[in-house]
Structure 1
């Protein structure tokens, strides 16, 4: 299989050199490397020019969906390997992707995991985010239900069949892609495809990103469950995402704990309700917290528990708004449908 590597980039001068160096150091060399620069204002284009890759430069910023689509349209390989420009692949990542696609002919998407170590260690927020992403992705190894395109390989025929990314989306576009993947294709997570990620390292940008993705993700998944696709090659029965009971308990428990906290003003005994809800959140996250304790120690465990609670709370609000927005759009769509002739009495 000929592999075309597509690297969407926007203002990643800090990591782009490491990203491309890792791509060209693969044990299975790519057939071509296409960097799509999304109107960067830093040194990104000069850095990319130092490598033997094709550089597509957008005159205006169009978002990661448009960047990936442009790279895929230019690619000539049998397999599209998408890697974000803030990730440095382990040397065997491309070879692992090819092995997986050859071993499982029904596999339409194979995606990798983040290394436990960030590309650059910039503090506790990034340490938590990297640890969580590594834990969550490794636990999902094998057949999974959600697509993520930070480091992901797709046969070009499958990508073209799905129709690429929705260029209206700048968050959760990779998840939405999976909702249109025909059900006959498997989505696989491979722990042999590894990359070191330079993740967000400040609290407010982390929570803001999380909130935006939660709103978009909830809307996309809700719409995918409610709406049947138009007739065509895509199967209408793909479940876009399995319900993760632990995540649901964490989000709902965190949200209700905040909502019931004022009951303490009515009676001190009612403090047992939010305390019990927080205890349920800890139980739901016990595997992740134990993982944090093993790898980072007791002090980091306390930090991770607090940040995990903030994460749940942010997702609870974002998911709620996303589902409400999807429901409102559905109601409006139903009301705007023309009444069939003869249906009125």
Structure 2
């Protein structure tokens, strides 16, 4: 009898986190024979770590990206359900049995996705706050969604193959897969209790690059694409997010106006940032509870950068779509872990 569930982990230069990822997979109830690590041209010890943990190791041609690496990993498996885990995620609890029970009891669902936990271990306030923001977003989006998430995401093989797998070169290939499932009438459930720790360490530069180029811009392109028929309006594209984008933009305009009208500009900045905090008070309460008062104050700045990037990405995509001079050439997909 074949395996009922197998894991695919795409990895590129992931030596810093892959060991913890594979230990978490083992602790979640999976055997090494159920795990496929796809190395995408790593220059570090990633392949040796995968072999040391007994995982099946595949090699891509190098630098093909996470989508193509996942597709190659799927081709190596035979199980009816595939679980995708990012190489910087450490699973919690008895996820194996929970996932199998879900698919056995929900034949109408094609996929099941989880959430980062509320205790990100990466050092530094910025890393912890940014990872908590992703946790907060998923915790408040429980239920059926028109998306997929490959950080912790399981899918039936038949549905994955019917959708054509992950689209190589797409900057949000897992979200695009979820939208394809939605168009086919197949459902994906977000279970906020299906958790793992995000081990990623953020810098301000990596956050801006990821939030602008690899999230906001491709997300906005999908939102503005008539072919998607509004299916991309999910998760953090709701009313609260839109209001936060406007407030972040107003604060940025205030910063630009300081040299001209310093007094009114400073007042406008304070009002906009204050309202941004009020709009996201649930998240700030979470940060204060988990990381303390000082971190919650810093989290307001993280929110400002995050939503400012979202607004800039939407503006960029809008110009591309509606301006005759707009460029449609996308940024290159990020390296694994960006």
* Superposition TM-score tier, normalisation by shorter sequence: 0.7 to 0.9
1-structure distance, mates of 2:30, 2:42: 30
Corresponding residue for residue 117 of structure 1: 119
Higher-Rg structure is 1
Deviations 1:306-340 (A, max 9, x none): 1111111122112221233244599999xxxxxxx
1-structure distance, mates of 2:16, 2:256: 46
1-structure distance, mates of 2:263, 2:230: 48
1-structure distance, mates of 2:324, 2:74: 31
**Aligned with 2:15: secondary structure?**
coil
1-structure distance, mates of 2:261, 2:283: 35
**Aligned with 1:15: secondary structure?**
helix
Superposition RMSD on alpha carbons, in Å? Answer: 2.5
Corresponding residue for residue 172 of structure 1: 172
Contact 2:145 2:190 in 1 (8 A): yes
1-structure distance, mates of 2:55, 2:266: 61
Corresponding residue for residue 53 of structure 2: 51
Superposed displacement of residue 28, structure 1: 5.5
**Aligned with 2:16: secondary structure?**
coil
Equivalent runs, 1:187-336 vs 2, <5 Å: 187-213=188-214, 214-223=216-225, 226-227=226-227, 239-242=231-234, 243-261=237-255, 265-266=260-261, 268-269=263-264, 272-327=267-322
Contact 1:200 1:206 in 2 (8 A): no
Pair 324,94 (structure 1): closer, same or farther in 2 beyond 3 Å: farther
2-structure distance, mates of 1:79, 1:157: 9
1-structure distance, mates of 2:186, 2:54: 34
Corresponding residue for residue 336 of structure 1: none
Superposed displacement of residue 301, structure 1: 1.0
User: Could you tell which deviates more after superposition, 144-153 or 259-268?
Assistant: 259-268
Task: Point out where structure 1 has 5 or more consecutive residues left out of the alignment.
Answer: 229-236, 334-345
Superposed displacement of residue 256, structure 1: 2.3
Equivalent runs, 1:32-71 vs 2, <5 Å: 32-71=34-73
2-structure distance, mates of 1:305, 1:50: 42
2-structure distance, mates of 1:258, 1:332: 25
Superposed displacement of residue 210, structure 1: 1.1
Greater relative contact order (Cα < 8 A, sep 6+) = 2
1-structure distance, mates of 2:315, 2:300: 22
Between Structure 1 and Structure 2, how many residues are aligned?
A: 321
2-structure distance, mates of 1:275, 1:239: 35
Contact 1:178 1:240 in 2 (8 A): no
Contact 2:146 2:182 in 1 (8 A): no
Corresponding residue for residue 181 of structure 2: 181
Pair 331,260 (structure 1): closer, same or farther in 2 beyond 3 Å: closer
2-structure distance, mates of 1:89, 1:315: 29
Pair 240,44 (structure 1): closer, same or farther in 2 beyond 3 Å: same
